[in-house]
Amino acid sequence: MDNPFLVEVARGHLVESRHRGSVSVVEADGVTVLSLGDVDRPVFPRSAVKALQALPLIESGIAEQFGLTDEEIALACASHSGEPRHTAAAAAMLAKAGRDLSCLECGTHWPMGEAANRALAASGETPTALHNNCSGKHAGFICLACGSDTDPAGYVKAAHLVQQRVRAALEDITGASHDEDRSGLDGCSIPTYAIPLPALAFGFARFGTGIGISPDTAKAAGRIRKAVAQHPFMVAGTDRFDTRVMEILGERAFVKVGAEGVYCAALPELGYGIALKADDGTTRAAEAMMGGLLLRYLKLSDEERAAIERLAQPVLRNWNGIEVGGMTATGELMGAPSS
Amino acid sequence: MDNPFLVEVARGHLVESRHRGSVSVVEADGVTVLSLGDVDRPVFPRSAVKALQALPLIESGIAEQFGLTDEEIALACASHSGEPRHTAAAAAMLAKAGRDLSCLECGTHWPMGEAANRALAASGETPTALHNNCSGKHAGFICLACGSDTDPAGYVKAAHLVQQRVRAALEDITGASHDEDRSGLDGCSIPTYAIPLPALAFGFARFGTGIGISPDTAKAAGRIRKAVAQHPFMVAGTDRFDTRVMEILGERAFVKVGAEGVYCAALPELGYGIALKADDGTTRAAEAMMGGLLLRYLKLSDEERAAIERLAQPVLRNWNGIEVGGMTATGELMGAPSS
């Protein structure tokens, strides 16, 4: 099955590049709202499910026991830009577990945020594992281990208590079995399990509404959504798509990007969960697709609509600031009547 | 027409992302060697034709008159990483024309090379137009204007003598008309004209062989190919694909990347010109495609083959250096017998 064109990038009067993808929008009772492309193909959710991976930390009461703040809970769901507020919060989480950055097993990279990257270089320092965009999630994993009286060493391994609980939480909320033969290693060394988009969307519909999951899981999901909505900077960073969307829409949209063009969202007021993937793995396509779906489904004020359009349908400018083109989701994604 | 899958990105045992594209390989007499996908669709060649855009500078004798070195001629064809050798050479070219960086109209951006980017930040300086990846091409344009006794101001405009000569050179070597209604503005503010891939490939076959073009153009093309082969660092930079390919293969392959997934090449010993585009505009796909074609067509020693394979079929590692997957061109691109 050929996935449809869902995003077009124009230059002058021509389409310069095109992105195909697949989309699933599902209600919490499992009813399909939208299905575009081959949604049966298993997709690695990568970082798009960090909020679901954080459920055991909250549901176990360990976040409460360690006194994690809402900012820190938001960071546990983050692919952050490595800005000072992010690294400081990750360090604080580790300290609450009686640990430090030497316990992090995510690996080290220069900050994902361009300004943070250059600021770190200008300071003469080099990055630590705290700058890894996943350090908040990993600090949460270490809290989960320590709060469970388990040695955190090796917490990234599939057989460790932490990953077993994370995998169980993912299977529980998505209803999809997470099989070893469909697993891969993520950028930060934890396992990632490929599942079909409708299962991912279903999981986010339940995450956003609490419908069909245990009261404790629903309560944990609510705490996470509230924390992220109140601190959208923590989940991504300056000028990042996730952060901007939630700054504009607050609790109306929980959105989270993953690597290789995956994007998930929950729209609680509609009861929808969304999961999508750009075939080619590009973030720009995934963002334009997610932005298009927000415009398609949410009732927005003129101001909100204009703000989301600026993110979802960006004007492309060259190095002199001159408008050279633009990017937008196609009519097929936006639900335009076919001509 | 649906373009075929030409590159696959794997994680674990699954294909995580896939790239489609189109490819044209043409001989200097116009005979088609390979055609994959919809090659009739006009494509903006962007920076992939910088070597063709440099032809008037050489053919006019102005490069000789100003004493441009081979390194500087290579830089005139470059999308460079903004490393100190690049910016110094661009400044030297401008000085030879009696000008300085205030004449550059390409705009300013932080160095494309990560290490150069951080080194500049660490120095406490901010970028100038010399760091723009196109500064060598623009310095060449300014030389062309000054050597033609023309005010360089406005040299990026379609109506300026410089762009008129560049456009005529492109039309001459590709045999394709460069129409206003298929033009767009490039990242560096000069016009870019969309033409079909076979015309681009035809132009590079003639650029690589001198067949079918005037003796003066052929001589200029030879000078450019030799200069780039001798100084492949100048055309891109540290660890860049173009640079590495030509460090390995020298004059046997002239390769040049463009924005939005375009790649062009000349393989003089075979008389082939190559032009390709990844539909989605990603550089990783374009590189894997070009690398695959080099492996398909060139007779390589075991050592050369291994070196090109490392570039074209990279192992993907996570932040801990653990192998998590790989990227490779598909059998359709590589010419594998279909199963």
Q: Residue B1: what pLDDT?
A: 73
Neighbours of B109 (CB within 10 A): 18
**Three-class DSSP category at B97:** coil
Contact A243, A235 (CB under 8 A): yes
Distance from CA of B77 to the nearest CA of A (A): 19
A278: which chain B residues are within 8 Å (Cβ-Cβ)?
17, 280
Q: Residue A336: what pLDDT?
A: 84
Q: Residue A290: what pLDDT?
A: 98
Give me the half-sphere count of Cα atoms (radius 13 Å) on the Cβ side of residue B328: 15
What average pLDDT is seen over chain A?
97
Percent of chain B with pLDDT over 90: 99
Nearest CA among A187, A181, A178 for reference residue A262: A187
| pLDDT < 70: residue spans in chain B | 338-339
Of the partner residues A12, A18, A184, the one whose CB lies closest to the CB of residue B11: A184
Q: Residue A338: what pLDDT?
A: 61
| Residue A339 confidence (pLDDT) above 90 | no
Which secondary structure element, helix H or strand E, spans residue A161, and what is its range?
A: helix A161-174
Specify which residues A166 forms β-bridges with. Answer: none
Distance from CA of A128 to the nearest CA of B (A): 12
User: Which CATH fold would you assign to the domain A5-334?
Assistant: Beta-lactamase (3.40.710)
CB contact set of A226 (below 8 Å; sequence gap of 6+): A70, A251
Q: The complex's ipTM?
A: 0.96
User: If pLDDT is split at 50, 70 and 90, which confidence band does A313 have?
Assistant: very high
| Residue A207 confidence (pLDDT) above 60 | yes
Residue length of chain B: 339
Give me the half-sphere count of Cα atoms (radius 13 Å) on the Cβ side of residue B108: 8
Q: Residue B234: what pLDDT?
A: 98
User: If pLDDT is split at 50, 70 and 90, which confidence band does A180 have?
Assistant: very high
CA distances (Å), origin B104, targets A59, B85, B132, B142, B155: 59, 18, 10, 8, 9
Specify which residues A11 forms β-bridges with. Answer: A14, A325
Place of tokens 């609510």: A222
Q: Residue B17: what pLDDT?
A: 98
Residues 286-325 of A with CB under 8 A from B: 318-322, 324-325
CA–CA dist B213, A272 (Å, integer): 62
Q: Residue B336: what pLDDT?
A: 84
Interval A157-185 mean pLDDT:
97
A128 token code pair: 């630590």
Give me the half-sphere count of Cα atoms (radius 13 Å) on the Cβ side of residue A36: 25
Residues 165-184 of B with CB under 8 A from A: 181-184
CA–CA dist B147, A51 (Å, integer): 62
Whether residues B107 and A189 touch (CB distance < 8 A) is answered with no
Contact status of A261 with chain B (Cβ, < 8 Å): yes
Give how far the C-alpha of residue A191 lies from the chain's centroid of Cα atoms, to the nearest Å.
Answer: 16
A276: which chain B residues are within 8 Å (Cβ-Cβ)?
none
pLDDT tens-digit readout, A127-156? 999 999 999 999 999 999 999 999 999 999
CA–CA dist B234, A9 (Å, integer): 30
Whether residues A118 and B118 touch (CB distance < 8 A) is answered with yes
Backbone angles phi, psi at A196, to 5 degrees: -70, 150
Give how far the C-alpha of residue A43 lies from the chain's centroid of Cα atoms, to the nearest Å.
Answer: 14
Backbone angles phi, psi at B329, to 5 degrees: -70, 150
Helix spans in B239-282 (H):
241-249
CA distances (Å), origin A193, targets A23, A208, B265: 18, 21, 39
CA–CA dist A7, A288 (Å, integer): 7
Whether residues B108 and A319 touch (CB distance < 8 A) is answered with yes
Interface mutation vs chain B, best among A318, A322, A323, A330, most B CBs within 10 Å: A318
pLDDT tens-digit readout, B192-220? 999 999 999 999 999 999 999 999 999 99
Distance from CA of A302 to the nearest CA of B (A): 31
Contact status of B105 with chain A (Cβ, < 8 Å): yes
Whether residues A185 and B322 touch (CB distance < 8 A) is answered with yes
Give how far the C-alpha of residue A41 lies from the chain's centroid of Cα atoms, to the nearest Å.
Answer: 20
Q: Enumerate helices (H) and strands (E) in chain B, giving the number of each.
A: 15, 10
Nearest CA among A100, A77, A53, A55 for reference residue A233: A77
CA–CA dist B127, B110 (Å, integer): 5
DSSP state string for B179-248? -GGGEEE-TTSSEEE-B-HHHHHHHHHHHHH-TTS-HHHHHHHHHHHHHHHH-HHHHS-TT-HHHHHHHH
Give how far the C-alpha of residue A116 lies from the chain's centroid of Cα atoms, to the nearest Å.
Answer: 20
Helix axes B283-297, B241-249, angle to 10 degrees: 10
Backbone angles phi, psi at B99, to 5 degrees: -125, 180
Q: Residue A337: what pLDDT?
A: 76
Interface mutation vs chain A, best among B190, B320, B330, most A CBs within 10 Å: B320
Exposed/middle/buried for B283, CB within 10 Å: 0-12, 13-18, 19+?
Answer: middle
Residues 33-72 of A with CB under 8 A from B: 42, 44
Whether residues B260 and A9 touch (CB distance < 8 A) is answered with yes
pLDDT tens-digit readout, A73-101? 999 999 999 999 999 999 999 999 999 99
Contact B76, B97 (CB under 8 A): no
The model's pTM:
0.97
CA–CA dist A208, B14 (Å, integer): 29
Helix axes A135-147, A84-96, angle to 10 degrees: 10
B35 token code pair: 């055609």
